[in-house]
Chain A
Amino acid sequence: MATEDGTTTGESLRERWNPRIERFRRGWDRYTEHRMGTIGLVLLVIFSLWALFPSVFAPHTPEWTAYLGTEPGRLTGEQLNSLPHPPAFGDPFFAPLGTNAGGQGIATLVIYSAETALYIGFAAGLLSSLVGVPLGLISGYYGDTWIDETIQRIVDVMYGLPFLPLLIVLVAVNGITTTNIILGIAVTSWLNNCIVIRGETLSLKERSYVESAKVAGASDARVIFRHIMPNVLPIGFVFLAQDAALAIITQASLAYLGLADFTALSWGIMLQNIQTAGYVYTAPWWLIPPGLMITFVAAAFYFIGFSMEDVTNPQR
């Protein structure tokens, strides 16, 4: 920032940012009033820690197998028959949530898979916001012109293409990798985002501060991104959180249909493996944890999203 009136850069910076910090603090206080939002944040922090330092939390590494540990070797027939093994604590081996049919520890896999889930959630959420928010802003700002008309027709076409079948086609065309799944989810999930942001922009652009910015000679791009965008970003974040949750659930659904990169570790793939191994009914220690984790991480995103909606749009 340039210095003004002889003050130092640091001071002017502080002056400039103080109201924002103050506003943030007020928002934060309001946010933590919601127990739901706090729970969501705590859950997300736990999952982030799992994703960043899996080796600290997991009892073993993913290479570990029951009976053998990390040593190469062969299982005896009797040992093979005991897999998937229910939870065991030290006798004959330590696996707090049991093992799967391949002898890997469920607890280990669950913790090592957090990374994939968070990666898919954040990447898909961010990408669909990066498409939806600018398009919504532009569409709203140029409301009732050919630009708006074009964008809205694209939205109409996308609405006419069913979400999951389209996603299956996209993934089938581009190859089944985690990145392609994320791209596919982003391509199909920016619509709601765009429509809501457009509606907001339509009403915001009539405000007097937009008028004054225009009169002061600001370009359209500056008005849109400097003056209008900060006001729609909170809603953008709400949708980001919802898209992230949806993306994680969708990835699990795709894995269920056999469309996943099976070399990756993910909760959806763990669930699919139960089905292919045929232990859906007989190995609850294997069935319940991955599904519960998907539920918790998606719920964490929803909790945060809806609490933020309340913070940005207080109605009480």
Chain B
Amino acid sequence: MSRISARYLGKRIVVSYLTILVIMTVIFALTRAQPGSFVTSMVSPGMNAEAIERLREQWGLNEPLWRQYIDFMINYQTGNFGRSPNWGVPVWDLFVRRMPRTLILFGAVFIVGYTVGPLVGMYLGWWRGSKKDQSIFVGGLLAYSMPAFWIAWLFLWLFDYQLGWFPSTYMLSPFAQYEPTAVNIMIDVLHHIALPLFSVVFIGWVGSMLIMRPTMNNVVDEDYVFLAQAKGLSERTVMIKHAARNALIPVTTGAIIALAFLIDGSIIIENVFSWPGMGQVIVTAVLNNDYPVTQGAFFLLGVLVVVMRLLTDVIYTYLDPRIKFGENE
């Protein structure tokens, strides 16, 4: 921490907070700009104008827009997300139920993808120009170009429809035939997670590989790598301890972009595999004008990204001692 001045950190925190406020404003404007409102979808043919009016009143849509905006800003910052008109439960409860499922799947994706990607990138950057590098790189780009849902369908066709090895939908078997012990549930979840995990990782590892490969290649020509080699260290030690460590910085930045990629991936993949997570909730909420849920989801994701950006700046100073923030403040 000592490498970052308190003043700089303070300024960054204030700016991050303001960024979140602007993000919230944009979300508010966008949700209200959608044609219709969620009340439109609640209206049944038998309702008269008075009943519709009462519904609007109930959900606070008759308040002037500025009033709604102020309520939104205050309520969301205090963690009061309101009730979802679509699911009929408090938004927070909905998130609490759905979030862990998304985190299980995409936590696993993130760990596997972010281990494989930089490792492959490291080797490719180290051997740049060789036959092996060329073919793996081209193969990676091809995988990167595939639509996620299409490759998921192909895997489903092969492993579920043809071979029947893995189930195609849900997180747990609907009618469990086993004793509900922790171990059995774990095995069941692992069995269900295999295909979605493999589908996302199949595409996802390439992103970090693409960042790692060129930076690794730049590092290879640095003096300290030459020095390490001259000292007689093994190639492996030089590559991992001396070169890769310094090539990790852009990969860390890339982790935020990867996070965004994961959110996109979760939306598609959760829909393909009927995985009952956040991705499905977001799409349904947006398409049904469910303001509270849309706003809540965007708000949480916005806070997540802003906080991650702040954290990576701090992490940089540990990965590369040469970086100092707030020196010329």
Does B bind A? Answer: yes
B236-290 at interface with A (beta carbon < 8 Å): 256-257, 260, 263-264, 267-268, 271, 282-283, 286-287
**A303 on the interface (CB 8 Å rule)?**
yes
Binding site of A, secondary structure by majority: helix, strand, loop or mixed? Answer: helix
Query: Interface readout for B16-51 with A: 1 if CB under 8 Å, 0 if not?
Result: 001110110011001101110000000000000000
Q: For A316, what are the chain B residues with a Cβ–Cβ distance below 8 Å?
A: 128-129
Within 8 A of B (CB), among A279-297: 280-281, 284, 287-288, 290-291, 294-297
Q: Which 6 A-B pairs have the closest CB atoms?
A: A298-B145, A291-B150, A160-B302, A164-B264, A299-B145, A252-B147
Q: A160-B19, A249-B145, A294-B146 are in contact. List 13 more A-B contacts (CB 8 A).
A: A36-B141, A153-B18, A156-B19, A161-B301, A165-B263, A169-B30, A252-B149, A256-B147, A268-B147, A281-B161, A291-B146, A298-B144, A299-B144
Which of A168, A169, A315 counts the most chain B CB atoms within 10 A?
A169
Query: Does A1 touch B at the CB level, under 8 Å?
Result: no
Contact residues of B with A, CB < 8 Å?
15, 18-20, 22-23, 26-27, 30-31, 33-35, 128-129, 134, 137-138, 141-142, 144-151, 153-154, 156-157, 161, 214, 217-218, 221, 256-257, 260, 263-264, 267-268, 271, 282-283, 286-287, 294, 297-298, 301-302, 305-306, 309
CA distance A316 to B217 in the complex (A): 9
Residue from B19, B34, B153 within 8 A of A173 (CB atoms): B34
A168-B287 contact, Cβ under 8 Å, with A36-B138, A162-B263, A315-B217: yes
With the chains together, A257 CA to B283 CA distance in Å?
A: 8
Judged by a CB distance under 8 angstroms, whether A271 is at the interface is yes
Residues of A within 8 Å of B256, CB to CB, are: 159
Shortest C-beta distance, A273 to chain B (Å), equals 13
Q: In A239-289, which residues have CB < 8 Å from any B CB?
A: 245, 249, 252-253, 256-257, 268, 271, 280-281, 284, 287-288
List 16 contacting pairs A-B, 8 Å CB cutoff, sorted by A: A35-B134, A159-B309, A161-B298, A162-B263, A163-B260, A165-B298, A172-B286, A249-B147, A252-B147, A253-B264, A281-B161, A287-B153, A295-B142, A296-B145, A302-B145, A306-B137
Instruction: Knowing A164-B263, A165-B286 are in contact, say whether A173-B35 is a contact too (CB < 8 A).
Output: yes
- A116 located at the interface, meaning its Cβ lies under 8 Å from any Cβ of chain B in the complex: no
Given A162-B301, A257-B271, A315-B218, decide whether A157 and B145 contact each other with a Cβ distance below 8 A.
Answer: no
A106–B19 CA distance with the chains assembled, in angstroms:
48
Smallest CB separation, B313 vs chain A (Å): 12
Q: What separation, in Å, do the CA atoms of A296 and B142 have in the docked complex?
A: 7
Give the CA-CA distance A268 to B146 in the complex, in Å: 11
**Cα separation A153 to B134 with both chains bound (whole Å):** 38
Q: Judge whether A252 and B150 touch: CB under 8 Å.
A: yes
**A170 interfacial contact with B, CB 8 Å:** yes
Residue A192 interfacial (CB < 8 Å): yes
Q: Contact between A295 and B145 (Cβ–Cβ < 8 Å)?
A: yes
Q: Is the interface of B mostly helix, strand, loop or mixed?
A: helix
How many angstroms between the C-alpha atoms of A165 and B286 in the bound complex? 8
Which B residues are CB-close (under 8 A) to A296?
145
Compute how far the CA of A299 lies from the CA of B144 in the bound complex, rounded to whole angstroms.
8
Contact yes or no, B146 A164, CB < 8 A: no
Which of A160, A256, A271, A296 gathers the greatest number of chain B CB atoms within 10 Å?
A: A160
Q: Give the complex CA separation of A268 and B15 in angstroms.
A: 40
Task: Point out the residues of chain A lying under 8 angstroms from B286, CB to CB.
Answer: 165, 168-169, 172
Q: What CA separation (Å) do A174 and B93 show in the bound complex?
A: 31
Closest chain B residue to A144 by CB distance? Answer: B328
Chain B residue at smallest Cβ distance from A191: B257
- Contact (Cβ within 8 A) B260 A294: no
Q: How far is the CA of A268 from the CA of B268 in the complex (A)?
A: 13
Return the chain A residue nearest B168 by Cβ.
A281
Given the interface contacts A169-B30, A287-B153, does A245 sit within 8 Å of B145 by beta carbon? yes
Q: Contact partner of B149 among A166, A256, A299, A315, CB < 8 A?
A: A256
- State the Cβ distance, A296 to closest chain B Cβ, in Å: 7
Contact across chains for A294 and B161 when beta carbons are under 8 A apart: no
Q: How many A-B residue pairs have CB under 8 A?
A: 148
Q: Please list the residues of chain A having a beta carbon within 8 angstroms of any beta carbon in chain B.
A: 35-36, 153, 156-157, 159-166, 168-170, 172-173, 192, 245, 249, 252-253, 256-257, 268, 271, 280-281, 284, 287-288, 290-291, 294-299, 302-303, 306, 309, 315-316
B23 & A161 in contact (Cβ 8 Å cutoff): yes
Which residue of chain B has the shortest Cβ distance to A175 in the bound complex? B35
Which chain B residues border A160 with CB–CB below 8 Å? 19-20, 23, 301-302, 305-306
- Chain B contacts for A159, CB-based, 8 A: 256, 260, 305, 309
List, in ascending order, chain A residues with CB within 8 A of B134's CB: 35-36
CB distance from A185 to the nearest CB of B (A): 12
Chain A residues near B298 (CB-CB < 8 A)? 161-162, 165-166
| A294 CB contacts on chain B under 8 angstroms | 145-147, 150
B268:A280 contact, CB within 8 angstroms:
no
- A164–B137 CA distance with the chains assembled, in angstroms: 26
Min CB–CB distance B226 → chain A (angstroms): 16
Contact A295 B34 (CB under 8 A): no
How far does the alpha carbon of A176 sit from the alpha carbon of B286 in the complex, in Å? 14
Q: Contact between A295 and B306 (Cβ–Cβ < 8 Å)?
A: no
- Asked whether, in the complex, the Cβ of B15 is within 8 Å of the Cβ of A153, the reply is yes
How distant is the Cα of A252 from the Cα of B151 in the complex, in angstroms? 12
Q: Complex formed: what's the CA distance from A169 to B286 in Å?
A: 6
* B305 close to A271 (CB less than 8 A): no
Contact B263 A172 (CB under 8 A): no
The answer on a CB contact under 8 Å between B142 and A253 is no
Q: Given the complex, which residues of A lie within 8 Å of B18, measured CB to CB?
A: 153
* B137 to A: closest C-beta gap in Å: 8
Instruction: List the A side residues contacting B128 at CB < 8 Å.
Output: 315-316
